[in-house]
Amino acid sequence: MTSRSFGYRGYTAIEDFQRVLEEARAGSEWAAAVIFDALQAPLLRYLRWQEPSAADDLAGETWLAVAERLGKFEGGEDALRAWLFSVARRRIAEYRRRGARRRTRPVAPEDLAGVPGGHDPSELVVETLSAQQAIDHVTASLNPDQAEVVVLRIVAGLSVEEVAHVLGKRPGTVRVIQHRALRRLAQLRVADAPTRQGR
Amino acid sequence: MGAWDDLDGVGPTGIDEAIFEDVLTGALDPLDMPPAVRAVSALIDKARQPATSEELAARTTTVPAFALVAQAEQTSAGRRRKSASVLRFPVRVMAIATPVALLGVGVAAATDSLPSSTQAAVSHVLSHVGISVPDPQAHAIVGEPSHASTSASVPSGNGAVAVSGGAVPVPTASRSSNGGLRGSRAVPPPLSSGPTHPAGNAAVACTSLSGNAADGANPPTLDGCSQVADTGGSGVLSGGGLAQAGNTTVTWRAGGTISFRYTSTVPQAKGDQCPADPTSPGNKETEVVLRGSALSPGNGSLRAKVCITSTLDVTLLPGTSFKL
């Protein structure tokens, strides 16, 4: 049960994925743990970005839904990752249809002081941000379509083709959306953007 | 100074697709990015940082549940069924019950038996992942000792199939083949000693329910029951409480008993009508609808709407009664 560096910096990939998958299908807890450890953080970050108040429950539902259909799954780790986020996205849609929670949630005024998005981006101190706060900053200036494409690329680590599959769009459309998003993001300034001299 | 630092001031229009792709995939360190995208690259790098312990906190509950469901599905290959209630059942309830189940694994391994309270919790969890597990407390009613087998049986159309050895804390589980939650077929229903329904087959309605579905010392108790002459006004439910599909027996204060086989479902149409859960701030208690039919004596039915906290305390849905 080991993992190695993944192409996307910061994440790990599952070593000997097919064996892990087979063991997970058979109900092996260690194999389930390997998959969980590799994908839980991006899943939770995506869900918290989408539905902060229900993210933990939605993550649990997503994992159980995946477990229930794991026997039918075929593919490699990238395919599993894309499938996981497809399931998560359906859970979010279902959750919103149920109307159990509103898309937005009321926040007490005093809580806003700690929200990084309330500050001028030029005052941001990247080192102090959590992953979730960084996601919020990255997506703050984007429209919903752009934001979801970017989050699925940077958080979920999906390719353009996988994002297109998850969102039900054509890859070309996703490329256009992501290009516009990045041109907008390129205007973002952060006070402590790393420099050779400053590090 | 990096390769790009002498290009400070170059606008976004100077960034090509390949660099954008590098930004998105984190292929390069932000320091190696052109200045125009260095800031956003640093943010994206931050967004992609390794998992924190907080983010993996659900591991202890999600992983065992994942493994259990995957195994059950594997075993029932060809007869998969959609168990929507599983997926919608709040994980917070599972989060309470699963550690208890895990505790039971160790106990079972050491003593070859699961404590009845643990079994009740395990049964509760499994009833919502499509598996109904008999409750040892139901056997205690008729004097049988708790037992534990480390295998699970899953009817799959061709009869029961052994599922596992040791790894799964499931004593003698059976799985519905039609997709619904229901009482176990693996163990005969409990037989009460002198089953009597109050006032013959007349219905009894109780206005209060209290207790805990997994705590044998504080079992679910009905109060405010009609037919006082026969019920004594109250009764105690045994057989694992109300949070599972299976069998339960009501022992009336007046002395009689009645046994039921029941199923529990999480209502979808109207949503959860239960009040806020005092044991889980920000969440509601979980509403579970119980339906059942009498086993002994053979007439009568059971209907109730129950609210369950994250610690498995049970009460009636406000404004409803427990009907027998």
Q: What is the pTM of this model?
A: 0.51
Q: How does residue B244 score in pLDDT terms, banded at 50, 70 and 90?
A: low
Q: How many CB atoms lie within 10 A of CB A180?
A: 15
Tokens standing for A70? 């794991």
- Identify the band that residue A93 occupies on the pLDDT scale cut at 50, 70 and 90: very high
Question: Quick one: pLDDT band at residue A111, thresholds 50, 70, 90?
Answer: low
Q: Sorting pLDDT into bands at 50, 70 and 90, what band is B311?
A: confident
Residue numbers of B between 45 and 64 with CB closer than 8 Å to A: 45-52, 55-56, 58-59, 61-64
Give me A130's structure tokens: 């959590």
Name the more confident of A91 and B3: A91
Between residues B158 and A67, the one the model is more confident about: A67
Place of tokens 């709407």: B305
The answer to whether A56 contacts B27, with C-beta atoms less than 8 Å apart, is no
Give the closest-approach CA distance of A70 to chain B in angstroms. 7
Q: A10 and B71 in contact by Cβ < 8 A?
A: no
Q: Note the pLDDT of residue B22.
A: 81
**Does the pLDDT at position A20 exceed 90?**
yes
- Rounded to two decimals, the ipTM of the complex is 0.80
Q: For residue B222, give the amino acid letter.
A: L
The separation between the first and the last C-alpha atoms of chain A, rounded to the nearest angstrom, is 35
**Nearest residue of chain B to residue A62 (CA atoms):** B87
For B97, the 3-state DSSP assignment is: helix
Is B12 within 8 Å of chain A by CB? Answer: yes
More reliable by pLDDT, B255 or B91: B255
The percent of residues in chain B predicted with pLDDT above 70, rounded, is 51
The two structure tokens encoding residue B229: 């002459």
Contact call for B51 and A40, based on CB within 8 A: yes
Specify the amino acid at residue A46. Y
Above 50 in pLDDT, residue B6?
no
Mean pLDDT of the A168-174 span: 93
Residues of chain A contacting residue B126, judged by C-beta atoms under 8 Å apart = none
Residue A189 is predicted with a pLDDT of: 60
For residue range B150-175, list pLDDT tens digits in order.
233 323 333 222 223 333 333 333 33
Give the Cα separation of B244 and B241 in Å (integer): 7
Q: With a cut of 80, say whether residue A49 has pLDDT above it.
A: yes
Q: Shortest CA distance to A179 belongs to which of B19, B33, B46?
A: B19
Q: Is the pLDDT of residue B12 over 50?
A: no
Which is more confident, B163 or B223? B223
Q: What pLDDT score does B242 carry?
A: 57
What is the pLDDT at residue A110? 52
CB pairs under 8 A between A and B: 213
Among residues 156-195 of chain B, which lie with CB inside 8 Å of chain A? 164, 167-168
pLDDT at A108: 53
- Tell how far CA B62 is from the center of its chain: 12
Letter for the amino acid at A55? A
pLDDT category, B312, cuts 50, 70, 90? confident
| Band of residue B187 on the pLDDT scale cut at 50, 70, 90 | very low
